[in-house]
Amino acid sequence: MEAFRHRQLMDRHQLAAALDDLAARLRQRLPREGVTVLPILGGAMIFAADLVRRLPSGLVMDFIRVQTYGDATSPQAAPVVDWRPKKANVRGHHVLLLDDILDTGRTIQEAKRFLLEEMGAGQVTVAVLIDKPVRRAVDVQPDEAAVTFEEDHFFVGFGLDYRGLYRNLPDLLALETGEDGLPVPAQKPAAEIEIAEGS
Selected catalytic residue, list 50, 100, 103, 171: 103
Buried (b) or exposed (e) across 66-87, using 16+ Cβ within 10 A? beeeeeeeebeeebebeeebee
Has residue 121 been placed in a domain?
A: yes
Q: How far is CA 187 from the centre of its chain?
A: 30
Residues forming a β-bridge with 67: 80
Concerning whether 103 is annotated as a catalytic residue, the answer is yes
Range of the domain at 109: 11-68+78-151
**pTM (2 d.p.):** 0.88
Q: Name the domain count of the chain.
A: 1
**pLDDT of the residue at 2:** 54
Residue 39 belongs to a domain with what CATH number?
3.40.50.2020
Has residue 20 been placed in a domain?
A: yes
Has residue 168 been placed in a domain?
A: no
Q: Is the dihedral angle over the CA atoms 15, 18, 24, 29 positive or is it negative? A: negative
Has residue 1 been placed in a domain?
A: no
Has residue 177 been placed in a domain?
A: no
CB of 132 closer than 8 Å to CB of 101: yes
Has residue 106 been placed in a domain?
A: yes
**pLDDT of the residue at 194:** 59
Has residue 195 been placed in a domain?
A: no
Q: What is the pLDDT along the chain (199 residues), one digit of tens a residue?
A: 358 999 999 999 999 999 999 999 999 999 989 999 999 998 999 999 999 999 999 999 999 999 875 555 555 578 999 999 999 999 999 999 999 999 999 999 999 999 999 999 999 999 999 999 999 999 999 999 999 999 999 999 999 999 889 999 999 999 999 988 888 998 755 455 555 544 4
CA dist., res. 28 & res. 75, Å (int): 35
Has residue 156 been placed in a domain?
A: no
